[in-house]
Structure 1
Amino acid sequence: MSGALFRNVAADAARLIRRKAAAAAADPFGKTGIAPSDVWRLQSRPYLRRSKEIGASPPYSSRFCSSSSSSSSSPPVGFVGWYLGMVKSRPVLTKSVTSSLIYIAADLSSQTIAKTSSESYDLVRTTRMGGYGLFVLGPTLHHWFNFMSRLFPKQDMITTFKKMAMGQFIYGPTMMVIFFSVNALLQGEGGSDIVARLKRDFLPAMLNCVMYWPICDFITFKFFPVHLQPLASNQFSYLWTIYMTYMGNREKPDAISSDTQISSTLSPALLEVEK
């Protein structure tokens, strides 16, 4: 019975192929292929109905296509699947914790590079950097990338360059001022100390920022979906954060102390002049 089924199917398939070949030769500019009516006619054959009634399994190619499509659409498992699920269910919290962990690792790396073997790690400084990533940088990254995706929804080259320019001229300088100010405040410094730090450190940091971040922003905006853009930016920010934690934890500028010394030196001279 299976041999007869095979012969009947082969005969019908050969008949359809010959018919289409003749039609293609007669009309070379027409469409080729099996029409839906031919498929319906082939499926209406009694031997195919019998095969369905007896529960014949689909061909191997159909089974392979269905299995491959189901496997390709299956969600990722393990840590990656868990992380992507957390990004969708709790985006702000997940991105904030990720940013905090990257800042902690970057600060420890920065201290490892700068310290001698006899020095110990400044865990207060590391906690300060982790808190900045958790409460400041993580939430702002989430809202900034969402704002960019609403303002420029496409991912073509022109749109990508627009997003890069917005990051270089608006987001980058703003977050740099916030970083230096918050870090100085957490160290107990006042407004004059913050101004002195910004005068000393802001311009060199911005010059390095312009050299480092444009290529990172291009990759992030061009090749990553919006819900993964903060994660991509955090990956790039690891090296940058090592530099920023070093800059943010330098000694206080000498400008204020030198101004104090000058005023104290001039005060007796002014008193003698007045006399």
Structure 2
Amino acid sequence: MATDSNAITVADWLKQSALAIHQTGSGSAKIDAQLLLCHVLGKNRTWLFTWSDTELDAAEQQQAATLLQRRLDGEPIAYILGYREFWSLTLATEPSTLIPRADTETLVEWALELPLGPKAEVLDLGTGTGAIALALASENPGWNVQGVDLQAGAVALASRNARDNHLSHVTFCQSSWFEQVSGQFDLIVSNPPYIDPEDHHLDEGDVRFEPRSALIADEQGLADLRHIVDQSRLYLHGDGWLLVEHGYDQQAAVTELFRQAGYLDVSTREDLGGNPRITGGRWPAQQLA
């Protein structure tokens, strides 16, 4: 019985593709290959292993090869697939916004530990895909969560993610930081641009494909962080909290910004790689005259 010399099984495609991706320097080659093939076949990862001897037809091979080449060219998986898992959510992604990263879940975890009450008012500055705002809202149906972003495309994407994840108590609007914001908040969170424009990491990995406006900031990456720490004081309730993500080498500088601005209980938490990544502080309650 004749066999198709071009036939390739799921297992063989995953092995060959993971090796090719690994040779580009990726540290997630196996999972990348699995996610690409899951997308092509419309199956989950369990299916890949259960039916690993299934042969791919010509159309599946062609589609998989096209996606694989994009990954070999360095394009991030999240942009190729059009979505990214964050917290318990599936978020649509676009090249106009940053890709949500697992390290940012450290900020979400910290925020959820704070004694904010069941009706907290929360503001997410520079929301991007809406990842932080939506993660917090998903855990607290009574919270009123607002996200803002300078880019209209990001606002539209975050709003779409809210709808797709059935989180109706989150709203998004276009604003340059606090320009269109009013009211007082119990919690302000932000993952702002914090990379020095001269940082060589901008030419490496996934960040090569991400929007520079969402990555870099003046003053060695501290300009936006400085603005947020300073201006948040005007929008926080007494005993309200500010939590910000920053670079692995910016802990001392960001801590000093918080302390100079008058925040209390200033501390920093590490990301999944053990790097100082999230700094936060509490705005003091107003003292009676």
Q: Structure 2-normalised TM-score?
A: 0.25
Q: Looking at CA atoms only, which structure, 1 or 2, has the larger radius of gyration? A: 1
The structure whose residues are more often strand, as a share, is 2
Greater length-normalized contact order (CA 8 Å, ≥ 6 residues apart): 1
Greater fraction of residues in helix: 1
